């Protein structure tokens, strides 16, 4: 298998690096904000120097100056008349009680207590009428005088306390105190606040305040752990970039370095361990997308659900094992493992790079470890489970395994946490089941579509092509039965050998079934289909016969392309002959002309490019040689295998494939064992006895006449072995 050329390696590395930079770019859809009154989860210091106009400090200064502006007061001309009217009404009520003849003294006192206090009641009832009238007149004069001056809202108590000094000295002390007590409730502010004028004055005061500058220095403590955020601290966090989504060059550089490292590792891996299906630029791009898109999805998802303060384990619901499982299914388990490991590392980096903007909720180290271990172990077991999957139910089983492993990892880390809840187990089980089954379903549903885009032959396709009732195989069986039988035997030989060296045994078997497909074009020209009659090559020019024989390669390719056989299956048609000679007719021609041009008798090639096609070349030649041999003993069969393999090595037909000498030895031993089973010795049966023949004809059944033979002219049974 050819390695990627350096330009292809660079192209893949560049595409993957760009895709990973986009996937991990430090932009996050959710910023965890801080509100005034929240408690800081850690000590927070400024990451930079900053000087800014502080709206908070400016507002505080403006409000302080505005509050210092006194209210604008204006006189209310209705206050004095209204209060005098109310005083008159009370005095009338008191007079009615004093003059009542139906009430005794205790009853009058009781009625007055509803109007005035107890001290005033005793004085009112004790005063004669003339002194009461004098008190009434004095009360009106004093109240009018008190309300004639300005009384501010804050000066009411002082005005009330000064009433006693305004009473005429002609009244006794008790009468003066009665006047003051009666008037006290009716002394109210005569000045009211002019709201418009006051607000205008305060607005002028606010406008006179200059914007307040705030300076924050690098590493300055903004808030301590456990301290509540005030408005000033929230503003400082915003200004130094801890709350707003800013793209920092340090973060971009970090993402770029990680992306380049991951892309470099994968590109070097593909250079050292090439994968046949991804040699084209389109397929390299698709592989880069398969790797980068899950990382992008995970980063966006993690930024929305972490930190998991509610302990719902939502971060682990993603079916991220599907990507390495898909790669393993389509391109090989080794590449799937590498992709899974790199994906787990990138997911861990995505969690680490999440901005610590919560300041109230914190991503714990266990979250980082949990993400890497859950998705890393899940990917590994998923790759192992699907590496040879040939049926849809195997993908479901793989999903179950991924879920079980993910659940086990979640449980293991959960047991290490000091704070655990019993209901956590239900959420972990739901996360593991969703992730595992989702990965299995996505892999099962995606490998056909993605395999078609990549031009990769899936195992399900191979299983369908391996069915002996497939249209092309049915046609081969009907039109070239000898070739069909030969293909089945070669398939048995090659499949077991491929399995022993770890090659793709299913692909080998399918390749064997279709390797001689072109012989249906002219089946009679091939010895295995000449069941009776003359050989059409008799009397033909050896060159023409060689051209006809070699033509089945191109005919097979044309037929395979028309019926849409996968490329990897088509490769077996030309490569199983490589560039070998059509030996029989070349040797026949050489007998006629020793200087005959050998190139006229060669198959078009190419030589086998993979272990699978090389195994089929060897199996095809060995089966044909062993079938042609009259001596089928174990010793002769082993010698045929050794001779054919040595001949192919000497011809250089195995130079372009990656089949090692150790693997060739294993393949040789497998061929020998299989051929011994095919050409095992049989025991010759003796002829039937007369008694046995009689039983068959029914001669020994009493009272029954023997039936005539079904085939009167059939010969007697031979001494050969039993039919197989």
Per-residue pLDDT reduced to its tens digit, 454-489: 666 777 788 888 888 899 999 999 999 989 999 999
- What domain range includes position 399? 6-26+247-456
Do residues 525 and 660 both lie within one domain? yes
Domain membership of residue 22 (yes or no) is: yes
Q: Is there a single domain that holds both residue 124 and residue 223?
A: no
Domain boundary among 210, 239, 268: 239
Q: For residues 599 and 566, state if they share a domain.
A: yes
Residue 626: inside a domain? yes
Q: Are residues 510 and 446 in the same domain?
A: no
Residue 385 scores a pLDDT above 80: yes
Q: How many domains does the chain have?
A: 4
Cβ burial of 293 (10 Å; 0-12, 13-18, 19+) is: middle
Contacts by 628-632 with C-beta closer than 8 Å and gap 24+?
A: 632/679
Looking at the structure, tell me whether residues 511 and 611 fall in a common domain: yes
Are residues 528 and 633 both part of a single domain?
yes
Token couple for 447: 């490998």
Interatomic CA distance for residues 67 and 634, integer angstroms: 114
The CATH number of the domain holding residue 512 is 1.10.3210
* Statement to judge: residues 435 and 584 lie in one domain: no
Query: Cα(20)–Cα(261) distance, rounded to whole angstroms?
Result: 10
Residue 106 lies in a domain: yes
Q: Where are the alpha helices (DSSP H) in 149-187?
A: 156-161, 163-166, 173-183
pLDDT digits (tens, 9 = 90+) for 254-299: 999 999 999 999 999 988 887 766 766 777 888 899 999 999 999 9
Residue 708 falls inside a structural domain = no
Cα(379)–Cα(278) distance, integer angstroms? 21
pLDDT by residue (tens digit) across 14-53? 999 999 999 999 877 655 567 777 777 667 777 778 888 8
Which structure tokens are listed for 111? 């009625």
How far does Cα 279 stand from its chain's mean position? Answer: 27
- For residue 178, pLDDT over 70 is answered with yes
Does residue 189 fall inside a structural domain? Answer: yes
Q: Is the distance from CB of 546 to CB of 597 less than 8 angstroms? A: no
- Give the bridge partners for 193, in sequence order: 73
Domain-located, residue 364: yes
Distance, C-alpha 141 to centroid of its chain? 91
Say whether both 410 and 438 belong to one domain.
yes
174 and 287 in a common domain? no
Report yes or no on 31 lying in a domain: no
Model-wide pTM > 0.85: no
Instruction: Confirm whether 720 is domain-assigned.
Output: no
487 and 436 in a single domain? The answer is no
Token pair, residue 375, equals 């998705």
Q: Report the first-to-last Cα separation within the chain, whole angstroms.
A: 42
Q: Report pLDDT for 700.
A: 46
Residues 318 and 430 in one domain: yes
Question: Around Cβ 682, how many Cβ atoms within 10 Å?
Answer: 10
pLDDT in tens, 118-150: 778 878 878 888 888 888 888 888 888 888 888
Residues 376 and 433 in one domain: yes
For 453-488, the three-class secondary structure string (H helix, E strand, C coil) is HHCCCCHHHHHHHCCCCCHHHHHHHHHCHHHHHHHH
DSSP per-residue codes, 252-263: HHHHHHHHHHHH
Cα–Cα dist 614/494, whole Å = 10
Residues 6+ apart with CB under 8 A from 692: none
- Cα separation, 132 vs 135, in Å, equals 5
CATH number at residue 306: 1.10.1760.20
Q: What is the DSSP secondary-structure string of 481-527? A: HHHHHHHHHHHHHHHHHHHHTTS-HHHHHHHHHHTTGGGGSSGGGSG
Name 111's Cβ contacts closer than 8 Å, sequence gap at least 6: 97, 103
CB atoms closer than 10 angstroms to residue 724 = 4
402-413: b (≥16 Cβ within 10 Å) or e: bbebbbbbbeeb
Query: How confident is the model over 535-548, as a mean pLDDT?
Result: 83
């Amino acid at each position: 298998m050819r390695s990627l050329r350096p330009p292809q390696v660079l192209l893949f590395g560049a595409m993957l690096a760009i895709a990973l930079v986009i996937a991990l770019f430090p932009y996050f859809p959710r910023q965890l904000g801080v509100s005034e009154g929240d408690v800081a989860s850690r000590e927070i210091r400024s990451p930079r120097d900053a000087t800014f106009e502080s709206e908070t400090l400016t507002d505080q200064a403006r409000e302080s100056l505005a509050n210092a502006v006194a209210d604008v007061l204006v006189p209310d001309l209705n206050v004095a008349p209204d209060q005098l009217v109310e005083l008159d009404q009370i005095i009338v009520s008191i007079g009615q009680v004093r003059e009542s003849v139906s009430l005794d003294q205790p009853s009058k006192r009781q009625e007055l207590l509803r109007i005035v206090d107890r001290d005033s009641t005793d004085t009112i009832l004790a005063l004669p009428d003339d002194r009461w009238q004098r008190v009434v007149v004095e009360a009106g004069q004093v109240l009018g005088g008190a309300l004639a001056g300005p009384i501010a809202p804050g000066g009411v108590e002082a005005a009330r306390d000064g009433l006693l000094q305004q009473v005429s000295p002609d009244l006794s002390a008790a009468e003066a105190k009665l006047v003051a007590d009666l008037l006290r409730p009716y002394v109210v502010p005569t000045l009211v606040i002019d709201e418009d004028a006051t607000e205008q004055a305060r607005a002028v005061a606010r406008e006179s305040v200059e914007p307040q500058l705030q300076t924050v220095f690098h590493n300055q403590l903004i808030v301590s752990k456990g301290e509540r955020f005030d408005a000033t601290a929230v503003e400082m966090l915003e200004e130094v970039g801890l709350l707003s989504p800013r793209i920092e060059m340090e973060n971009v550089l970090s993402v770029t370095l990680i992306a380049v490292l991951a892309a470099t590792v994968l590109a070097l891996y593909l250079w050292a361990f090439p994968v046949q299906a991804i040699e084209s630029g389109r397929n390299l791009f698709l592989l880069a997308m398969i790797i980068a898109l899950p990382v992008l999805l995970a980063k966006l998802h993690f930024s929305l659900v972490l930190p998991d303060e509610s302990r719902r384990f939502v971060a682990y619901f993603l079916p991220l094992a599907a990507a390495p499982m898909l790669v393993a299914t389509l391109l090989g388990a080794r590449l799937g493992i590498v992709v899974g490991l790199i994906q787990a590392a990138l997911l861990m980096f995505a969690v680490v790079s999440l901005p610590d903007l919560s300041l109230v909720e914190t991503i714990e180290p266990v979250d980082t470890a949990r993400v890497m271990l859950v998705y890393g172990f899940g990917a590994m077991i998923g790759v192992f489970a699907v590496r040879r999957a040939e049926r849809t139910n195997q993908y479901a089983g793989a999903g179950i395994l991924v879920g079980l492993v993910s659940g086990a990892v979640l449980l293991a880390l959960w047991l290490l946490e000091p704070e655990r809840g019993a209901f956590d187990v239900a959420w972990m089980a739901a996360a593991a089941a969703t992730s595992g089954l989702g990965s299995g379903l996505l892999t099962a549903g995606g490998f056909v579509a993605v395999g078609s885009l990549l031009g990769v032959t899936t195992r399900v396709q191979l299983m369908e092509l391996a069915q002996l009732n497939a249209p092309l195989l049915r046609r081969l069986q009907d039109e070239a039965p000898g070739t069909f039988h030969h293909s089945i035997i070669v398939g048995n030989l090659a499949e077991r050998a491929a399995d022993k060296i770890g090659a793709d045994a299913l692909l080998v078997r399918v390749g064997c079934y279709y390797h001689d497909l072109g012989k249906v074009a002219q089946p009679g020209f091939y010895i295995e289909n000449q069941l009776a009659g003359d050989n059409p090559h008799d009397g033909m020019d050896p060159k023409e016969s060689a051209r006809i024989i070699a033509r089945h390669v191109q005919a097979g390719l044309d037929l395979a392309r028309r019926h849409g056989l996968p490329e990897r299956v088509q490769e077996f048609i030309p490569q199983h002959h490589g560039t070998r000679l059509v030996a029989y007719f070349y040797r026949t021609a050489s007998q006629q002309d020793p200087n005959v041009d050998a190139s006229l008798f060669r198959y078009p090639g190419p030589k086998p490019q993979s272990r699978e096609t090389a195994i089929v070349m060897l199996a095809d030649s060995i089966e044909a040689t062993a079938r042609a041999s009259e001596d089928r003993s174990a010793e002769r069969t082993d010698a045929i295998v050794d001779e054919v393999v040595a001949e192919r090595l000497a011809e250089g037909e195995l130079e372009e494939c990656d089949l090692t000498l150790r693997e060739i030895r294993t393949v040789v031993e497998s061929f020998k064992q299989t051929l011994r089973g095919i050409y095992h010795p049989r025991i010759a049966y003796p002829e039937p006895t007369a008694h046995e023949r009689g039983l068959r004809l029914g001669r020994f059944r009493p009272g029954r006449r023997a039936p005539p033979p079904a085939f009167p002219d059939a010969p007697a049974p031979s001494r050969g072995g039993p039919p197989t």
